[in-house]
Structure 1
């Protein structure tokens, strides 16, 4: 069996994806698999045909790697792949649709508004119901790309301009002050969670991928009952979107103990600073065991 680790891509998260992919490739190599590394570009289909892979291990972050596009191509080619299927990937990548699905399933989300570029350009929008501080983010990016915490009207236009540079829809969300907790899910089991404490106050792209810029608390320093509730909520969010394989569910818990789900990452980072491997270690998975389990789920799961 030949495994193709597909990483890189053309999104804003390309460099992180390459690092994740290299870590997965090394783990599979050490486990004795026949494995090849494929840097995903516009010629991806040709590369896959050339390599004659039997299964794809997807480590693409953002863009068409995480939005269902590559998954659809692999299905047409008859090649099984790790992680969520086309529909779940597309839903999870779209923050607006994700929130609407969560609301339908009674999964708490922060109050939010969706702004379309045409309304922004004509000033045909109103954020009074959200107020300040708020969080401005593109509807279709990951890894905190284009995300800004806005404290007043003066910062709002700059944040909106930045977010709109990534697409035609922007989410403006009420800022919830509290603890940032991430729950790792593997198929139908919540593995545990990690609390992240960025040293600069915001879990930005830089804080996520630069060593020493964030403290990781494993397990989170919260009440045991609340921790169990968060794990249940994480699994519920994973299932509500129809996700498969390994995901990471991002949440904020305010100081009154109310939890809000922000998003589900269908292809979590697999670098040395990534959260899913840290969380999996709580459940007894070292990195190689986690990688092997993700691959095996793809092989036994008929999408």
Structure 2
């Protein structure tokens, strides 16, 4: 495609907990755009959104805003109202995928494998979690990414501390069994499941530091799974994404349980594009460099409710 007549706004940043992750990825995305003939109009939404967006008058938007309001359907709703084509999932799918408990409820209703859960909104419900799921637990806010507010928990005392911290980030907290792992992830681009990545953090779990700051986290491509489990993970990623109504691109995360089965964890509709990010790694392994990946995502931009 000839991009000379296109005005592409690259939205990033903001004021949320993942704003710096977005800013890190913006550098890579902007450079990749230039390599395919696009001079992006860069807009950090911490400085405002509607006014700079209207001034830019873009023909399409590349959304790289992580968390709120870029992944929860709010930004998508604005762009729909303005009639501006944008990358990634639409309003409904974005809102659903950003709500981790409801995502799991959809998967459960379709028979897709995911761990049991308890959703709490105050400390008094901590005992219920232990009774239903046992003392080894994983706690995270219902609407956050990048492992912000997430905790591995060993026992009731740690659980209350973890819930208290997670409630600083959200009004609802998701509690699940602490799975032994390892963790795997599958990127999805325009209906294609990318190679599975096996993730081996040096810390107890794949937390914010392991994701974005540590050079000790190991990423395995090939993933270390058998060919049968690799194919199963890729198929599950496609089914999980389709179940939520996601489009264009995303990333589906898995944990392995103690019996060796893969369980769906969550779906990310605006994955990272930074130096440690997973979708670019998987795309490279499939023969797709970053400019090719960015172009594929941009080509599928539309006004998507």
Confirm whether residue 4 of structure 1 aligns to residue 4 of structure 2. no
Match of 2:3 in 1: none
The alpha-carbon deviation at position 173 of structure 1 amounts to 0.4
Deviations 1:7-61 (A, max 9, x none): 0012100000111122111110122113211001362011101111110000011
Return 184-193 or 156-165, whichever deviates more: 184-193
Q: 1:126 aligns with which of 128, 142, 158?
A: 128
Q: CA RMSD in A?
A: 1.4
1:12-161 matches, within 5 Å, as 12-41=17-46, 43-117=48-122, 120=123, 122-123=124-125, 126-127=128-129, 128-161=131-164
CA positional deviation for 1:125: 5.7
The aligned runs of 1:214-293 (5 Å cut-off) are: 214-293=217-296
Note the C-alpha offset of 1:202: 1.2
Segments of 5+ residues of structure 1 without an aligned counterpart are: none
- Moved >2 Å (runs of 4+): 122-125, 254-257
Task: Give the deviation of 1:183 after TM superposition.
Answer: 0.5
Question: Alignment partner of 2:34: what SS?
Answer: helix
Q: Larger relative CO (CA 8 A, sep 6+): 1 or 2?
A: 2
TM-score under structure 1 length normalisation: 0.95
Q: Tell me: CA distance 1:153–1:124, structure 2 relative to 1, closer, same or farther (3 Å).
A: closer
Query: 1:123 offset after TM fit, Å?
Result: 4.9
Bigger proportion of residues as strand: 1
Give aligned pairs, total: 299
5+ residue gaps, structure 2, are 1-5
Deviation at 1:154, TM superposition (A): 1.8
Distance 1:273 1:214 in 2: 9
TM-score normalised by length of structure 2 = 0.95
Alignment partners' CA distance in 2, 1:34 and 1:223: 43
After TM superposition, give the deviation of residue 211 of structure 1 in Å. Answer: 4.1
Moved more, 136-145 or 42-51: 42-51
- Once residues 296 and 132 of structure 1 are traced to their aligned partners in structure 2, the CA distance between those partners, rounded to angstroms, is 47
Aligned partners of 1:170 and 1:260: how far apart in 2?
A: 19
Question: Which deviates more from structure 2 when the two are superposed, residues 35-44 or residues 233-242?
Answer: 35-44
Contact 1:8 1:18 in 2 (8 A): yes
Q: Distance in 2 between matches of 1:59 and 1:34?
A: 16
